[in-house]
Structure 1
Amino acid sequence: MHVRGSLSRSAITDVLEETTAPIRVACRTPQDHLWMCSLWYRLEDASDGDDWRLQCATSAGADIVSFLEAESEVAFEVSTNDPPYMGVRGRGTATIEPDPEKETLRALLERYHVGTESALARNLLREERDEVTVTIEPAVVYGWDYADRMGDTGTRA
């Protein structure tokens, strides 16, 4: 993974671990149109231990699944929604794997403070609902933090 921008590799990791805004994933449809989708994500260590990857969960029948099966290249962004803005964007490759036990989804329900007992969680965790894990392997990441130049425009929690 190639790291660019004003944030170090460890600062980028911190942003991704601490930010619970959804990841925005851009891909192409089979008709070669651009498509953007927001998904919950979690940071996962890669098998080599040096890098990380991003994992999302979605329904096996979601449009983005068929789009990514046809063309696996993606762009992505995770950024704060309130000033001063900061975030991480990049590009990479996505893979799709079945998640019959909904392990990724369960982890995301906890990460986004929904829990597994809410009405939303019960709906998503229905036994008959097929779930997949979308794993994004970043090739290039770019981190930024505009706190210095935005100064008094807002406060970071």
Structure 2
Amino acid sequence: MDTTAFLNNNLIPVRLAAIDKDGFPVICSLWFIYQDGELLCASHASAKIIRVLKENPHCAFEVSINSVPYKGVRGKAIANLKSDADGAVLSQLIARYLGDSQPKLSKWLLSRRKDEYAIHLKITSQSSWDFSERMQGN
């Protein structure tokens, strides 16, 4: 499977898993852009995933289709948090996932951008699967 094409062409959120300070994983679904070998996400400063990633940037991710034929990408990454106060990453995510379909939501999200973080996921390992051939006719 061409993982770059899969990540660029599917509007599926990434499921991001990180380890909380109690040792248990936390999972969060986030919009993403695949750019220069990294997954870029955004989240508000008050979000639990930001607090958890500040404590421990080691994480895992999965982007997968939940209907036949099953396919996806999963792996491990190191999260690098950067201020997105200008809304650069957030604007790209809104354009990708919402377009012009929900102007009120887009405006509200951008109104909070001064406290937004860009999450740069540097992929350290990944694997992919595509059961299209095996599931033909289903």
Shorter-chain TM range is over 0.9
SS at match of 2:136: helix
Aligned equivalent of 1:35: 26
TM-aligned CA deviation for residue 81 of structure 1? 2.6
Aligned equivalent of 2:59: 74
Aligned equivalent of 1:131: 116
TM-aligned CA deviation for residue 113 of structure 1? 3.0
Aligned equivalent of 1:3: none
Which structure 1 segments of 5+ residues have no match?
A: 1-6, 46-51
Aligned equivalent of 1:105: 90
Q: Which amino acid aligns with 2:108?
A: N
2 CA distance for matches of 1:116 and 1:131? Answer: 22
Which structure 2 segments of 5+ residues have no match?
A: none
Aligned equivalent of 1:55: 40
Query: Which 10-residue stretch deviates more, 108-117 or 144-153?
Result: 108-117
Task: Report if aligned partners of 2:82, 2:119 keep a CA contact under 8 Å in 1.
Answer: yes
Q: What TM-score, normalized to structure 2?
A: 0.94
Q: Pairwise CA RMSD of aligned residues? A: 1.5
SS at match of 2:107: helix
Aligned equivalent of 2:126: 141
2 CA distance for matches of 1:120 and 1:56? Answer: 17
| Residues matched between the structures, number | 138
2 CA distance for matches of 1:27 and 1:127? Answer: 24
TM-aligned CA deviation for residue 117 of structure 1? 6.3
SS at match of 1:149: coil
Q: What TM-score, normalized to structure 1?
A: 0.83
In structure 2, the CA distance between the partners of 1:148 and 1:97, relative to structure 1 (3 Å rule), is: same
Aligned equivalent of 2:11: 20
TM-aligned CA deviation for residue 63 of structure 1? 0.4
- Residue identity over aligned pairs, in percent, reads 32
In structure 2, the CA distance between the partners of 1:127 and 1:41, relative to structure 1 (3 Å rule), is: closer
1 CA distance for matches of 2:113 and 2:59? Answer: 29
2 CA distance for matches of 1:115 and 1:89? Answer: 30
